[in-house]
Amino acid sequence: MKRILLLTKLLILFVVSNAQTVLISPTGDGGFENGSSFAANGWTVANGATNQWFIGSVAPPSLGANCAYISDNVGGATYNYATGAASTVHFYRDVTFPVGETDIQLTYKWKCFGEGSYDYIAVFAISTALTPTFNSPAGAFQSWLQIPTAYPGATVLNTPPQNLQANFQTATICLPAGFAGTTQRLVFMFSNDPSVGTQPPASIDEISLISNAPGIPTNQPSGLTLTPISTSQINGSFTAAPGLSAGYLVVRYPTGATPTDPVNGTSYLAGQSLGLGTVVQTGPSTTFSATGLSANTTYDFYIYNYTGSGCSPLTYLTGSPLFGTATTLSCSGITGLKTVGPTGDYPSLTAAMAVVNLGITGAVTLELQSTYSSAVETFPITFPSNACVGPINTLIIRPELGAAGLSIVGINTTAIFDFNGATYVTIDGRPGGVGGYTAGTNLMIRNTAVGPTIRYINDAQFNVVKYCDIQGQNTTATNITTQGGVVCFSTTTGANGNDNNIIDFCDIHETPTGTPVMGIFSYGSQTTVSQNNDNNTISNCNIYNVFSASIADAFIKIDLGNSAWTINNNRFYQTATRTYTTGAVVHRVMWITPNVGGLVSASNFTITNNFIGGNNAAGTGTYTVNGLVTHTFSAIDLSVGLGTPSSVQNNTITNINFTTSSTAVTAFVGIGIATRNKHNRPMATQLIGGDI
């Protein structure tokens, strides 16, 4: 019998396939499926008198019949923990890591709500000469910092605290390559301090620990086919390399340029520079599309096989990469003034854009006839990346002279106008492109779906929307989204973000059938700083009637991945009384929080000469927000980064009537500053009159 048990354990601990060793199985000893005790699964427990680790289904498990969980019941009958006494408890086991298998990956499922930096899960490794003991380190604020003190030489493997999650989360951790050839004591810990906390406590399941020997690629892919698709796109396909491969790095260069070898251990992203080249794609796919290219231009393509997966560093085969060359199509097609409408050159903007995107040979203006109707459009009307549109060959869309009061109305969850990689496109709401803004005269653009009316995405740059009436009823609730606002600045799959766009002399507000949660919203990509949405301008606009009675709202919300915006000379107001029905909701006018997460680049905002208050564009009357709940009001809420200082100058906040049951000192905030550069000091902003 003992011999059978030993053989079973060997099979669990040393299942090897292609130099891979399963050290802990998520469906066996790591899933606690070998019995109802820690010992039956090869673990040792170090419990205390109150909160203790148990094995069973009470939590319940994420998979199978058992998981490890914390209970304050002596028999483990409940999935609760006592918060009144400090407690730190552990379960652990010794693991011998095979020599040479330096690619070591630990994954597990966990859940734990607990409390902030006080009640949490931590995972660490220590010498087998050390034994985890109850309440060491003692449960307290950020007590995980004391693990190396309590157990000298300990390596904390996760990033504590793991908490504030009531449902199972997956943790994936690369263990140090230096563990190969050693034996380590792997420890799972739950710690709580002697104060408040939220149920449930810790639960752990599906622990997996796998080690691999790193592989080295020996063959390159073959059979490259390159196909020019348009003036800005070349597609490619090739045959996979025989033998070891985790993926392929595709890089494009100007023709004749000397390639730069990729560096082992370095991960490259699409759009990233590599010497004189640009990374097109990295991953296992054997097809790719190179976009954003110049017209009638020849490009060289180099493709490298690489290995490395999980926790193994990437290793590139740099000798004799697969090579090919191709030339984009030449610009051809229309130029000059074209009309859009029933008797025009094109019956719709949709039809006109299909022609424009085939190429233009000069600046193009599309004028909407006085008889134009948006009923014939297919939404969204998309302006894609177009190599033929640029600083000289611009594209302008406007009503023709005399075509006053035109409207483009649709229902689409993506957008009405989608600037998808577009550059140098202008939408000018003035008939003939002359005069100023006059309500009811200029072009109106409306989306009656829950989605933005105008969206910028995938490196949309140098575009202008001016003298337009932009209406939306987007009620997207979360502020962490790429689809929020009446006007949405979204993320990018390119390298540079949605930059240098201008919205000028526009009305941005609700539709007749719904009120938006946010007026202008921006959430940029953050993989690299260059992918942030930078240097966009909102100026001379009337932004009004943005409100939600139950969730956080904002006229302008600039979230993560943004920098160096200019918000100048805008008017913010409510034409009707707004009433909150839910407490603890903050109503904001400008909500600028791009540095959450510590992005140093989130800086250099210019917020000047804006007027907040009143019930009309003149700023007269009263901006009224009430409701006998604990809602709060913030006119300008700033949380900017540590780069170039931001400037908040000459703004006026007045004619506001605000009622709340909140007694907090922050119930009404004119300008609030959270994380900031110490030089970011708001100055010369007036707070005049009003009732609070």
**Cβ contacts of 345 within 8 Å, gap of 6 or more:** 338, 339, 352
Mean pLDDT value across residues 187-198: 96
Mean pLDDT value across residues 87-106: 95
HSE of 216, CA atoms in CB hemisphere, 13 A: 3
pLDDT per residue as tens digits for the range 213-245: 888 899 999 999 999 998 889 999 999 999 989
Alpha helices by DSSP H, listed for 126-272, are 147-150
From 294, 317, 252, select the one nearest 423 (Cα to Cα): 294
Mean pLDDT value across residues 407-430: 97
Q: Distance (Å, rounded) from C-alpha 31 to C-alpha 565?
A: 50
pLDDT for 610? 97
Tokens of 169: 């989360």
pLDDT for 596? 53
The amino acid occupying position 414 is T
Tokens of 553: 């709202």
Alpha-carbon separation of residue 465 from 23, 226, 347, 427, 569 (angstroms) = 59, 37, 22, 5, 16
Mean pLDDT value across residues 489-505: 94
8 Å CB contact between 669 and 633: yes
Tokens of 189: 């810990």
Mean pLDDT score of the chain, rounded to an integer? 90
8 Å CB contact between 219 and 315: no
Rg (alpha carbons) of the chain, rounded to whole number: 30
The amino acid occupying position 554 is A
In 143-218, which ranges are E strands? Answer: 155-156, 165-174, 183-192, 203-212
Alpha helices by DSSP H, listed for 234-386, are 349-356
Q: Distance (Å, rounded) from C-alpha 143 to C-alpha 193?
A: 9
- Model's pTM, two decimal places? 0.68
pLDDT for 665? 75
pLDDT per residue as tens digits for the range 153-163: 999 999 999 99
Lowest mean pLDDT among 327-336, 394-403, 513-522: 327-336
The maximal CA–CA distance of the chain, rounded, in angstroms, is 96
Q: Distance (Å, rounded) from C-alpha 674 to C-alpha 659?
A: 24
pLDDT for 420? 95
Q: Distance (Å, rounded) from C-alpha 120 to C-alpha 191?
A: 6
pLDDT at 487 over 90: yes
8 Å CB contact between 592 and 610: no
pLDDT per residue as tens digits for the range 18-67: 458 999 999 999 999 999 999 999 999 999 989 999 999 999 999 999 99
8 Å CB contact between 440 and 401: no
Lowest mean pLDDT among 238-242, 263-267, 347-351, 438-442: 438-442
Mean pLDDT value across residues 512-540: 93
The amino acid occupying position 552 is A
pLDDT at 687 over 60: no
From 684, 676, 685, 608, select the one nearest 638 (Cα to Cα): 676
- At 477, the pLDDT band (50, 70, 90 cuts) reads low
pLDDT for 480? 54
From 493, 494, 504, select the one nearest 536 (Cα to Cα): 504
pLDDT for 690? 43
8 Å CB contact between 296 and 331: yes
- Apex 159 CA angle, 156 and 161, nearest 5: 110
- Apex 154 CA angle, 153 and 159, nearest 5: 140
pLDDT for 684? 41
pLDDT at 386 over 90: no
Q: Distance (Å, rounded) from C-alpha 618 to C-alpha 630?
A: 30
pLDDT per residue as tens digits for the range 576-615: 999 988 887 889 999 998 865 444 456 889 999 999 999 9
Q: What percent of the chain shows pLDDT beyond 90?
A: 74
Helices and strands (H and E) in the chain: how many: 3, 54
Buried/exposed 295-320: b ≥16 CB within 10 Å, e otherwise: bebebbbbbbbbbbbbbbebbbbbee
8 Å CB contact between 454 and 428: no
DSSP code of residue 380: S
pLDDT for 13? 31
Q: Distance (Å, rounded) from C-alpha 491 to C-alpha 482?
A: 7
- Apex 384 CA angle, 343 and 531, nearest 5: 150
8 Å CB contact between 472 and 452: yes
Q: Distance (Å, rounded) from C-alpha 413 to C-alpha 264?
A: 43
